[in-house]
C-alpha cells in the first residue's frame, strides 16, 4: 500500500512538472513568435526566462524592447501575470474564450525612457494634460524637457506598476485598478468600478459589454515622493523667485491652464490645491456620476460636459473630503479666450517680423527710465533677436520682471539686463 501511495505521489509530481514544462515552453514559443513580428516593425524583443509557478503565476524576467536604429528602449526586470490560482492560470492558457474572475499584471523594475517626444512617465498618472498644470508659473516654458528633469535630479524613472481587474457576481460588476510608483518621484493609483451587466465570463460577451458598462465611481490617489518640491525649486531658480512669489504665480497660471479644455476651477478647488502645493504629500479625488456615464463617455465626451455629469470630492493630505467643482466655461468666455489667443499670436508674429532698428515707429526706452514705463505696452528685444510683447512689472539693478499676457491671464518672465538688447514703446505705425 505504501508503494502504491508513493507511486501515486511520484506520478502526480511527474504530471505537474511535465505540465509546468509544457506550458512554459508554449509561452516561450508565443513570445518568440511575437518577437519575430515586432522585428519586422523595427522593434527588438528579448527576455531572459519564463517561469510558471505551482500557484498559477506566469513570470517573465529580463524583458527588453529596443527600437532598432534608435536609442530608445523599454526595460522590465520582471513581469508577473496572476490569474488567482493554478486552475485559473491553466484555464487562461488553455481556454482563451473564458476569462478568469480576477487577473493581475505586475511589473517590477519598469524603466521608462524620458525623451523630447515623450515625458509622460514623469507626470502624475501618466496623463498628457497634467504637464501644462505642472509647468504653470515656470518661466519661458510650456512643458518640462528631459534636460529640465535632469536639472531637477531625475534620470529615466524606474517604476513598479500593477494593472488588475476583478469581476463580481459572475459578470455583473467590474473593478479595474491601476497603480505605479517610482522612488523620489511619485505614486499614482486609480480604481474604477462599473456595472458590467453580463451573466457570463465569456470573452466575447464581456468585450461587447465593455464600452457600454455604466460607471459607478472613480478614485484617484496621488502620493508625492519629491516631484513637486523639486519642480518648485527648479522654477524658483529659473525665475530667481522667492518661494511665495513662485507659489502665487503657479496658482494663477494653474487656474488659467484649465481654460485650454474649457474649464475653470472653483474657489474651493483652488484653495485645496494651494494647501497641497504648500505641503505636497497626498491628494485623493473621488468622482461619482450624477447622470449616466459609460466607459465610452470617459474617452469621447467633451470635458466640459463631463464636468456637469460627475460629482467631485477632494481630500488633501489628512484633511476631510470636500466637494469641489470644475466649472464649464460659457461659449462667450471660450470665444473671448480664443480672441485673446489670436491677438497675442498676431502681436508676437508682428514683433518677430518687424525691424529692430530704432528708426522704426517705436520709441526706445532707455535703461535708466525702464521703471517709469510700468503698465505701458512694451516690446522687449532679447540679445538673440527674439521679441516679446508685454508690460514691465518691476525692475531692479539686475533684472526686469516682464508681464506677458495670454490665455486670459498673465505670466511674469524675468530677464537679466544683459539678456535685453532694447525696450521699445509699442506704438501704432504712422505714414512717413
Q: What is the pLDDT of residues 5-16, one digit of tens each?
A: 444 444 444 444
Whole-angstrom distance, CA of residue 345 vs CA of residue 289: 39
Domain match, 213 and 275 both: yes
Neighbours of 264 (CB within 10 A): 19
Residues 309, 290: Cα–Cα separation, whole Å:
5
237 and 304 assigned to the same domain: yes
Specify whether 193 is located in the same domain as 102.
no
Mean pLDDT value across residues 422-427: 76
User: Are both 102 and 236 inside the same structural domain?
Assistant: no
Is there a domain that residue 347 lies in?
no
Residues 325 and 358 in one domain: no
The reported pLDDT for the residue numbered 361 is 47
Residue 403 and residue 311 share a domain = no
In a domain, 279, yes or no: yes
Band (pLDDT 50/70/90 cuts) for residue 4 is very low
- Tell whether 167 is covered by a domain: yes
User: If we measure between CA atoms, which residue out of 248, 250, 127, 106 comes closest to residue 178?
Assistant: 106
- Residue 146 domain-assigned? no
Q: Does residue 141 have a pLDDT over 70? A: yes
Phi/psi at 287 (5° precision) = -120, 130
**Domain presence at residue 405:** yes
Predicted confidence band of residue 275 (pLDDT cuts 50, 70, 90): very high
Q: What is the CATH number of the domain that holds 407?
A: 2.30.30.100
Per-residue pLDDT averaged across 110-126, rounded? Answer: 85
For 112-234, strand residue ranges (E) read: 158-168, 173-182, 186-195, 214-224
| Number of domains within the chain | 3
Same-domain pairing of 106 and 198: no
Q: For 395-419, what is each residue's pLDDT tens digit?
A: 888 888 888 776 555 677 888 888 8
| 3-state per-residue secondary structure call for 306-332 | HHHHEEEEEEECCCCCEEECEEECCHH
Within a domain: 259: yes
For residue 7, what pLDDT is reported?
46
Is the distance from CB of 54 to CB of 16 less than 8 angstroms? yes
Whether residue 128 lies inside any domain: the answer is no
Q: Is the pLDDT of residue 204 over 60?
A: yes
Is position 123 within any domain?
no
- Phi, psi values for residue 375, rounded to 5°: 75, -5
pLDDT, one tens digit per residue, over 334-343 is: 888 888 777 7
Same domain, 228 and 82: no
Do 188 and 317 reside in the same domain of the chain? Answer: yes
Q: Are residues 251 and 293 in the same domain?
A: yes
User: What domain range includes position 375?
Assistant: 353-425
* Of the candidate ranges 86-90, 103-107, 152-156, 164-168, the one whose mean pLDDT is the lowest: 86-90
Same domain, 200 and 291: yes
Q: What is the pLDDT of residues 217-274, one digit of tens each?
A: 999 999 999 999 999 999 999 888 899 999 999 999 999 999 888 899 999 999 999 9
- 395 touches 370 (CB < 8 A): yes
Contact (Cβ atoms closer than 8 angstroms) between residue 323 and residue 259: no
Indicate if 305 and 360 belong to the same structural domain. Answer: no
pLDDT tens column, 73-107: 889 999 998 887 766 766 776 777 888 888 899 99
Retrieve residue 255's grid coordinates.
487656474
Amino acid at each position: 500500500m505504501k508503494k502504491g501511495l508513493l507511486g501515486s505521489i511520484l506520478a502526480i509530481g511527474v504530471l505537474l512538472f511535465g505540465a509546468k514544462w509544457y506550458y512554459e515552453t508554449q509561452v516561450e514559443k508565443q513570445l518568440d513568435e511575437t518577437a519575430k513580428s515586432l522585428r519586422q516593425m523595427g522593434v527588438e524583443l528579448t527576455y531572459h526566462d519564463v517561469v510558471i509557478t505551482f500557484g498559477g503565476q506566469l513570470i517573465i524576467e529580463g524583458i527588453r524592447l529596443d527600437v532598432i536604429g534608435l536609442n530608445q528602449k523599454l526595460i522590465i526586470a520582471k513581469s508577473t501575470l496572476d490569474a488567482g490560482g493554478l486552475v485559473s492560470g491553466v484555464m487562461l492558457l488553455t481556454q482563451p474564450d473564458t476569462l478568469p474572475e480576477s487577473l493581475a499584471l505586475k511589473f517590477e523594475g519598469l524603466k521608462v525612457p524620458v525623451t523630447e517626444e515623450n515625458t509622460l512617465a514623469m507626470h502624475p498618472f501618466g496623463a498628457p494634460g497634467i504637464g501644462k498644470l505642472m509647468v504653470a508659473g515656470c518661466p519661458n516654458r510650456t512643458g518640462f524637457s528631459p534636460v529640465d528633469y535632469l536639472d531637477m535630479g531625475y534620470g529615466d524613472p524606474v517604476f513598479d506598476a500593477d494593472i488588475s481587474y476583478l469581476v463580481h457576481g459572475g459578470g455583473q460588476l467590474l473593478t479595474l485598478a491601476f497603480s505605479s510608483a517610482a522612488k523620489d518621484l511619485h505614486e499614482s493609483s486609480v480604481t474604477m468600478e462599473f456595472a458590467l451587466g453580463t451573466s457570463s465570463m465569456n470573452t466575447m460577451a464581456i468585450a461587447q459589454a465593455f464600452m457600454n458598462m455604466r460607471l459607478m465611481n472613480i478614485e484617484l490617489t496621488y502620493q508625492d515622493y519629491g516631484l513637486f518640491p523639486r519642480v518648485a525649486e527648479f522654477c524658483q531658480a529659473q525665475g530667481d523667485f522667492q518661494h511665495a512669489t513662485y507659489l502665487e504665480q503657479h496658482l494663477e497660471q494653474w487656474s488659467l491652464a484649465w481654460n485650454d479644455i474649457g474649464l475653470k476651477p472653483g474657489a474651493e478647488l483652488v484653495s485645496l490645491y494651494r494647501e497641497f502645493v504648500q505641503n505636497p504629500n497626498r491628494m485623493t479625488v473621488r468622482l461619482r456620476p450624477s447622470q449616466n456615464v459609460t466607459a465610452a463617455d470617459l474617452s469621447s465626451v467633451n470635458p466640459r460636459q463631463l464636468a456637469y455629469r460627475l460629482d467631485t470630492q477632494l481630500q488633501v493630505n489628512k484633511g476631510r473630503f470636500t466637494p469641489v467643482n470644475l466649472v464649464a466655461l460659457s461659449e462667450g468666455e471660450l470665444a473671448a479666450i480664443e480672441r485673446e489667443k489670436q491677438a497675442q499670436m498676431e502681436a508676437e508674429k508682428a514683433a518677430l517680423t518687424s525691424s529692430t532698428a530704432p528708426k522704426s515707429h517705436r520709441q526706445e526706452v532707455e535703461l535708466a527710465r525702464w521703471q517709469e514705463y510700468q503698465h505701458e505696452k512694451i516690446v522687449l528685444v532679447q540679445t538673440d533677436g527674439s521679441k516679446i510683447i508685454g508690460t514691465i512689472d518691476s525692475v531692479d539693478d539686475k533684472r526686469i520682471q516682464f508681464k506677458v499676457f495670454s490665455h486670459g491671464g498673465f505670466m511674469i518672465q524675468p530677464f537679466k539686463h544683459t539678456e535685453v538688447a532694447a525696450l521699445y514703446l509699442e506704438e501704432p505705425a504712422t505714414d512717413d
